[in-house]
Amino acid sequence: MSKTVNGITIDDTFAEAFGMSGTGIIITADSMKWAKIAATVATGFGTSVIGAGAECGIDKELTPEETPDGRPGVRILIFGFSPDALIPQVRNRIGQCVLTSPGSACYAGLKAEKTMPLGKGTRLFGDGYQTAKKLGDSRYWRIPVMDGEFIIEEDTGVTTDAVGGGNMLILGRDRAGLLETAEAAVEAIAKVDDVITPFPGGIVRSGSKVGAKYAGMHASSNDAFCPTLRGTIKHSELAPDTLAVLEIVIDGLTSKAVADAMRIGLKAVTDIGAKRGVTRITAGNYGGKLGQHHYHLKDLI
Amino acid sequence: MSGLKLRFKAPATERINLAGITPSKLLALSSHEIARLNVGIEKGGVALGDAFDISGEAGETLTIEGATPAIDFVGDGLDSGTIRVVGNVGSFAARKMSGGKLEIHGDAGDYLASGSTGGMILVSGNAGDNLGGVETGERFGMLGGMAVIEGNIGARAGDKMRRGTVIVRGKTGPGAGSRMIGGTIWAEGGFGRDPGLMMRRGTLIGPSVESLLPTFVDCGKHDLVIIRVIARYLKSTLGDLAPKPMPLFVQKIGGDTATIGRGEILLPAG
């Protein structure tokens, strides 16, 4: 039985999410502006593991008191299929996007039993002039660069308890209002620790289904939710007044964080959505057989 | 304080060697066995129970009272728990210590923390020569852990030190950081003559240095992020015992260029 909250229909369905591996990295710089530039570039092209190799995003901004070097910073999260799959992603993203960014430094952003290399490969950029400083359990590499030294911690934590693909589909009869509502939900989710929304601005407009009619395509357009196909396909899920659908995808370091993020996101949508033409909220799943984590919308309202 | 208490019966007829007398080792022994442990260095031996009045039950903490410089190897092999010493101790305190905490409420002799790999050492007074230094026949001096000395320290601190951190509230003697391979010595009272002889890597931080070897070179003034990282780490580990933060701009003196020269002496840029 679907529910109605503030005039918005909540489908009796669930978001189906997958177990993933995730890591956290703290990026600092002389100013928040430059920490964010490095973090934004390092997490760029990190939307879906299928095509981008990793799902990345900025988790939160950190005050100087919260970072290992007392400078402003941000924590980014990177998710992949396995710790091994994360290694080249982290190495390349940090090596190309953080090492190169003026004044940056890079530290472990996740304390976990398992660790993975952070600066282990990047340190070789120092060509023998790099030195290490071990403080407590952490080893920091100092790599001479043209604006001083790039500091990077040797390892960071990695968890295999992460969850990828928590999601909600927001349906509405006004495209502008729908986008505004989805933006508000992403903004609310951003306040939850340990989660990211990896798609552009946190929002996906090209939700996908598994498989395609073409060989070699692993995913293809979620036709049942494409408004322009309504009427011409038998399996359309959309009511006559639905003009557009936007999806928010959530990755988190723990299942609880993903559930919290979905709860807060759903609340943001139901709080302000009706006035902006939102009519219905549903979630993406594959019948429950593929993903280990199920988030029932009715439990999160 | 609970735990076993040893009260030294002075005067000692020979030097006392407390190597391996640690809370975790004593926990595994009966009180009878503890009293019979040999702590002498000569042929006849000296039983622990003859050199010390023993009271209390073995536990996480071992207290040694009435200590004198005749007692060597205090805290040798300490891996967990706390050894609290009231009085001065002899040489090789905290030798090959790997964990736990050694508090010396007094002065420490030579070779404090030689070969130690972990744990926390607090000395309320001064420490002698070769703090964290290499023992004859070994490759490295201090290999990890932290030592905080409230007073001054002697010559050649950190000789062949490889890792770990030494904080000196006072001043170091001559030749601090000689043959250093890594690690950090932060002397709030400044460095004595000619630090860093044949130093390969490692960091000496302080407000001043008496004289520099000619093989050390000025690398200019820098805003080093690693100084902030070290200061933040010390603050979180030591709290009020942490040294006062250095100015953000430091003068880097690199050396020893008589060897690979990756070491550094960091002074306030003035």
ipTM here:
0.92
Q: Which residue of A has its CA nearest to B234?
A: A135
Side chain identity, residue B67: A
Q: Quick check: B10 pLDDT over 80? A: no
Q: Quick check: A162 pLDDT over 80? A: yes
The closest CB to that of A131, out of B201, B225, B237, belongs to B201
pLDDT at B78: 97
Q: What is the pLDDT of residues B104-145, one digit of tens each?
A: 999 999 999 999 999 999 999 999 999 999 999 999 999 999
> Which segments of B45-100 are extended strands (E)?
52-55, 61-67, 71-72, 82-87
Q: What is the mean pLDDT of chain A?
A: 96
Q: What is the pLDDT of residues B189-208, one digit of tens each?
A: 999 999 999 999 999 999 99
CA distances from A236 to A2, A161, A239, A243 (A): 18, 35, 8, 13
Q: What is the pLDDT of residues B149-175, one digit of tens each?
A: 999 999 999 999 999 999 999 999 999
- Alpha-carbon torsion (A191, A193, A199, A205), positive or negative: negative
The closest CB to that of A69, out of B229, B237, B262, belongs to B229
Q: Which range among A135-144, A193-202, B2-11 shows the weakest confidence by mean pLDDT? A: B2-11
Task: Please report residues of B whose CB lies closer than 8 A to that of A68.
Answer: 229, 232-233
Whether residues B232 and A68 touch (CB distance < 8 A) is answered with: yes
Q: Quick check: B60 pLDDT over 60? A: yes
Q: Residues B27-37: what's their mean pLDDT?
A: 94
Q: Residues B59-73: what's their mean pLDDT?
A: 96
pLDDT at A272: 96
Q: Residues B55-74: what's their mean pLDDT?
A: 95
Q: Residues B84-89: what's their mean pLDDT?
A: 97
Q: How far is A24 from chain B (nearest CA, A)?
A: 19
Q: Quick check: A106 pLDDT over 90? A: yes
Tokens of A14: 């669930």
Interface check for B201 against chain A (CB to CB < 8 A): the answer is yes
Q: Residues A155-173: what's their mean pLDDT?
A: 97
Q: What is the pLDDT of residues A22-75, one digit of tens each?
A: 999 999 999 999 999 999 999 999 999 988 999 999 999 999 999 999 999 999
Interface check for B252 against chain A (CB to CB < 8 A): the answer is no
Q: Residues B209-224: what's their mean pLDDT?
A: 97
Q: What is the pLDDT of residues A263-274, one digit of tens each?
A: 999 999 999 999
Q: Residues A117-127: what's their mean pLDDT?
A: 96
Q: In 3-state terms, chain B is what percent helix, strand and coil (to 5)?
A: 10, 30, 55
Task: Please report residues of A whose CB lies closer than 8 A to that of B222.
Answer: 148
pLDDT band at A289 (very low <50, low <70, confident <90, very high): confident
Interface check for B144 against chain A (CB to CB < 8 A): the answer is yes
Interface check for B231 against chain A (CB to CB < 8 A): the answer is yes
Q: Which residue has the tokens 């003697």?
A: B173
Query: How is residue A50 annotated by DSSP?
Result: H
pLDDT band at A143 (very low <50, low <70, confident <90, very high): very high
Q: DSSP 3-state assignment of B212?
A: coil
pLDDT at B246: 86
Q: DSSP 3-state assignment of B2?
A: coil
Q: Which residue of A has its CA nearest to B263?
A: A131
pLDDT at A80: 97
Interface check for B165 against chain A (CB to CB < 8 A): the answer is yes
pLDDT band at B2 (very low <50, low <70, confident <90, very high): confident
Whether residues B225 and A149 touch (CB distance < 8 A) is answered with: yes
Task: Please report residues of A whose CB lies closer than 8 A to that of B233.
Answer: 68, 135-136, 138
Residue B26 neighbours by CB distance under 10 Å: 24
Whether residues A134 and B201 touch (CB distance < 8 A) is answered with: no
Whether residues B226 and A71 touch (CB distance < 8 A) is answered with: no
Contact by Cβ (8 Å): B112, B123? yes
d(CA B240, CA B232): 12
Q: What is the pLDDT of residues A202-225, one digit of tens each?
A: 999 999 988 899 998 888 999 999
pLDDT at A71: 97
d(CA A108, CA A93): 15
Task: Please report residues of A whose CB lies closer than 8 A to that of B184.
Answer: 133, 135
Task: Please report residues of A whose CB lies closer than 8 A to that of B266.
Answer: none
Interface check for B219 against chain A (CB to CB < 8 A): the answer is no
Contact by Cβ (8 Å): A160, A83? yes
Q: How far is A155 from chain B (nearest CA, A)?
A: 16
Whether residues B229 and A148 touch (CB distance < 8 A) is answered with: no
pLDDT at B13: 78
d(CA B172, CA B150): 11
Q: Which residue has the tokens 């009180």?
A: B31
pLDDT at B1: 52
Q: Kindly state the greatest CA–CA separation across chain A.
A: 67
Task: Please report residues of A whose CB lies closer than 8 A to that of B201.
Answer: 131
pLDDT at B247: 86
Q: Which residue has the tokens 């952490």?
A: A138
Query: Rg for chain A (alpha carbons), in Å?
Result: 21
